[in-house]
Structure 1
Amino acid sequence: MGTTRAVRADSWPDACDYDVPEGTLEVRTAVSEASVLPVRSQAAADPWVARFLAHLAAERNLSGHTVAGYLQDVGQFTAFVWPGEAELPPYRWASPDRTLARQFLVAFHRAGCAPATTRRKLAALRTFYRFLIREGLLGKNPFSGLRGPRRTHGLPVVLNEGQVASLLAAPLRELDTLQARAAGGMPPEAVYARLRDAALLEVLYSTGGRVAEVAELRIDRVDLAGGVARLHGKGRKERLSVLGRPARAALGRALEFADRLWPNAAARDGVLFRNLQGGVLTPRSIERNLKHWLAAAGLPPAITPHKLRHSFATHLLNAGADLRSVQELLGHASLSTTQIYTHVSIERLKAVYRKAHPRA
């Protein structure tokens, strides 16, 4: 192996996350999609990385998306420490020192990444090195004692109810427009794409699910008659989510059309949301498609599937739902995580105050 190169933090490219290539497990939305770090996909070929990933999946019972996230962060670190194309695994994990670990983290801060991105990478690399120490490979953790950026408590960005309604109506509105213009009829795949996205947006907002949870939903975990779906959250924990009437109707219509396009496919693989080749629609594709519907609805392009989740929680609280119930629906392990939405719901509290307080 070549020698480890100490790259100056201020010389590192402005990048926060990289897009995962099509055909691989897709995780976490890129913080800055315009800036791309090298994809060190061969990191998984390192024997210690492979053992670490197996440990996360088997012993810690983490989901495939979360395991892929750890691989992404470790892979970025290898690209930072061993930037040469010829630097292939196995890597000399004892080479990086505390200074290099700090430079790696500072690079993300100077690139203008969100503090949460840097904190996540610090946690992932610290966990990886703890594993190497536990396995007897190393004696020191270069990430031990390093502190990430201070956690900020900004309020979640949410859509109001009218904006959500406009977004959810966008796919079928576009379908109606295109069908009216198409004298010879639309390609069935184009029709399905809009029916699917109408259902997908409804399910995201109806369940408040994370994009990865909704993307991996299977038909056998959806009860259209009962109006519930079983989502697999962090740590593979399962929770019941509610499907409202519009979501059930949109799903039923999309599934019926998919059966005509791909006969017997549902019985074979149980996929709920398909791409136009009949395979599984990935989280990355969902995020990309959402941008189209935001533009069609005249809404800010910065809205992400996770902001639909924020909107779901805020609208429930504004309508009087109790915090514990919202916690269960979101799949939060801690009530404190859910409490941030109480700040967003201050308008409801102000309205109650104005109505009830004699000096309002």
Structure 2
Amino acid sequence: MSADQYLARLSCRDELNDSPLSATVVPYVEALLVQRYAKRTIGLYLHALAHFGHWMKTEALCVESIDAALTERFVREHLPACTCSMSLHSGTVNTRAALRHLLKLLAQRRPVKSSTDDPITTELDRFGDYLQNICGVAPQTNARRCKDVGVLLVYCFGAEPLVLSPLSVAQIDAFVATLIPRLRPASLRTGCNSLRSYFRFRALLGESTDALSASLPRVADWRHATLPKALSDAQLAAFLKVFDCSNPVELRDYAIARCLLDLGLRGDEVAHLTLQSVDWRNGTLTLGTSKSKRVQQLPLPVPTGEAIARYLRQGRPQTTDRNLFVRHRAPVGIPLSVAALRSAMNRAFVRCGLRDQFCNTHVLRRTTATRLQRAGASVKEIADLLRHRSIDTASAYARVDLEGLRAVALPWPGSRS
């Protein structure tokens, strides 16, 4: 069905045609159809778009005035007190989604204005550029640090100008104290490291931040206090059995699970695999983007290759995107995000009854290391496969070899030999 045919049956077409958005409606519908959105979903989005267009008309706004700040103003201020025709209401969730698609469409035609009036947004953009271009941190690390710093800036400044000189050590202590009850030690340590990075950035701009950096606590990290959590052989078998390989989505998820288990890949490494990553002739898998920032080539195990090949032949939807793993729900065919990949693995943990014990994809990577160790691999071999730069990182798995430890342990003083 074409966009014109779809619009001919739409109940709110008159409102759309009579709004400032009239020229964008057809390309808007065409974009949603290409991404294989359901007709009902498209209808909900168009009703939300008609509502937004009606509001723009009453406010005497034009298409050129549309930006992220305007759409947020519509959602936050107009929707709660709306007195427009009830036939145009699509709900807050659908309205936000519809307006996100509108912003994407307009961005393809012209640069969409961002909310540059917000000093915090501007500051985080500058900090993100520093992390990317000067520090060279990974995109995920960049996003995490900007998020952590954003929380601090909102806490300390709100909408006021950002000047760090009035900040005191007591304010930083009070902010960190708000984080302690809701963050685990590892997350708190990461957050403090993000703030140290931000204070270094501000120091480069000429502000004195030494005292602020020094006030951040050094969070204890007892990483070696417990054994690495990993799936037992029985749990691993139960986990792999939950994938229904007659379902295209489950075919994809099973292939992802094999990449995580057989090669010990990180979640973001799997999400960034492309069709070019697999060399079928030589039986290798190339990682182009990894935490180590080096192109690395790994042997492709037979079970992993078979799972990927089956997904490509029987499950992967037709798409022009070159990413190996893509979405199967609208928007169909775009790269699968790291968050969606983790969600898929979490659903598998739920189905096999292990969700209470395991809740992230990294446990599969640790399972790979543990199985290698139990099969007789050395710590150096484990570190090489997991691509650890430091052998100390992989040394934790030596503590899993309880039988080997018993063989070399000395008798306790005073006990019987």
Question: Quick check: TM above 0.5?
Answer: yes
Partner deviation per Cα, 1:279-313 (whole Å, 9 max, x = no partner): 11111112222122112222243411011111111
Counterpart CA distance in 1 for 2:241 and 2:315 is: 20
Partner of 1:129: 199
Separation in 2, partners of 1:280, 1:100: 42
- Is 1:206 aligned with 2:262? yes
User: Does the CA-based 8 Å contact 1:327-1:335 persist in structure 2?
Assistant: yes
2:304 to 231, 247, 263: 247
Unaligned runs of 5+ in 2: 1-95, 101-115, 410-415
**What is the TM-score normalised by the length of structure 2?**
0.63
Q: Does 1:167 align with 2:239?
A: yes
What's 2:136 paired with? Answer: 61
State the partner residue of 2:285.
229
Q: How far apart are 1:321 and its partner, in Å? A: 0.9
The whole-number CA distance in structure 2 between the counterparts of 1:118 and 1:287 is 22
The residue aligned with 1:14 is: none
**What aligned pairs does 1:55-134 form with structure 2 within 5 A after superposition?**
55-82=130-157, 87-88=158-159, 91-111=162-182, 113-134=183-204
User: For the structure 1 residues 88 and 326, does the alpha-carbon distance in structure 2 shift closer, same or farther, using more than 3 Å as the test?
Assistant: same
- Higher helix proportion, which one? 2
Name the CA distance, whole Å, in 2 between partners of 1:56 and 1:125: 12
Separation of aligned partners in 1, 2:167 and 2:292: 30
Q: Is the 8 A contact 1:46 1:91 kept in 2?
A: no
Shift of 1:45: 5.7
Structure 1 spans left out of the alignment, 5+ residues: 1-20, 24-40, 177-190
Secondary structure (helix, strand or coil) at the match of 2:389 reads coil
Which residue number corresponds to residue 158 of structure 1? 230
**C-alpha deviation, 1:102, in angstroms:** 1.9
The amino acid across from 2:322 in the alignment is G
Aligned equivalents of 1:161 and 1:120: distance in 2? 33
1:11 is matched with none
Q: Which residue of 2 aligns with 1:216?
A: 272
Per-residue deviation at 1:234? 1.8
Q: 1:243 to 1:161 in 2, by over 3 A?
A: farther
Task: Decide whether the 8 Å contact of 1:209 with 1:330 is kept in 2.
Answer: yes
Q: Deviation per CA, 1:164-223, whole angstroms, max 9, x where unpaired? A: 222123113xx45xxxxxxxxxxxxxx221110010001111111111111111121222
Do the aligned partners of residues 100 and 197 (structure 1) sit closer, same or farther apart at CA in structure 2, a change above 3 Å counting? same
The CA distance in 1 between the partners of 2:117 and 2:379, in whole Å, is 44
Question: Which of these two proteins has the greater Rg computed from alpha carbons?
Answer: 2
Distance in 2 between residues matched to 1:347 and 1:80, nearest whole Å: 51
Q: CA–CA distance in 2 between the matches of 1:196 and 1:229?
A: 17
Larger RCO, structure (CA 8 Å, separation 6 or more): 1
Q: Percent identity?
A: 25
Alignment of 1:142-157 (within 5 A): 142-152=212-222, 153=224, 154-157=226-229
SS of the residue aligned with 2:297?
A: strand
Aligned to 2:344: 289
- 2:242 is paired with a residue whose SS is helix
The answer as to whether partners of 1:203 and 1:243 remain within 8 angstroms in 2 is no
Q: Does 1:341 align with 2:397?
A: yes
Structure-2 residue corresponding to 1:18: none
Distance in 2 of aligned mates of 1:247 and 1:49:
40
1:130 positional shift? 0.8
1:103-161: CA deviations, max 9, x gaps? 222222222x2211111111111011111101224454513243232111232211112
RMSD: 2.9
Q: Residues 207 and 95 from structure 1, CA distance in 2 versus in 1: closer, same or farther, beyond 3 angstroms?
A: farther
TM-score (norm 1): 0.73
Tell me the equivalent position of 1:6: none
Provide the rounded CA distance (Å) in 2 between the counterparts of 1:167 and 1:335: 29
Aligned to 1:279: 334
The alignment covers a number of residue pairs equal to 292
Instruction: Please state whether the residue corresponding to 2:214 is helix, strand or coil.
Output: coil
Q: Are residue 270 (structure 1) and residue 326 (structure 2) matched?
A: no
Q: Is the 8 Å Cα contact of residues 324 and 335 (structure 1) preserved in structure 2? A: yes
What is the letter of the counterpart of residue 170 of structure 1?
A: V
> Are the counterparts in 2 of residues 133 and 141 from structure 1 also a CA contact under 8 Å?
no
CA gap of 1:342–1:89, structure 2 versus 1, over 3 A, is: farther
CA distance in 1, matches of 2:248, 2:239: 18
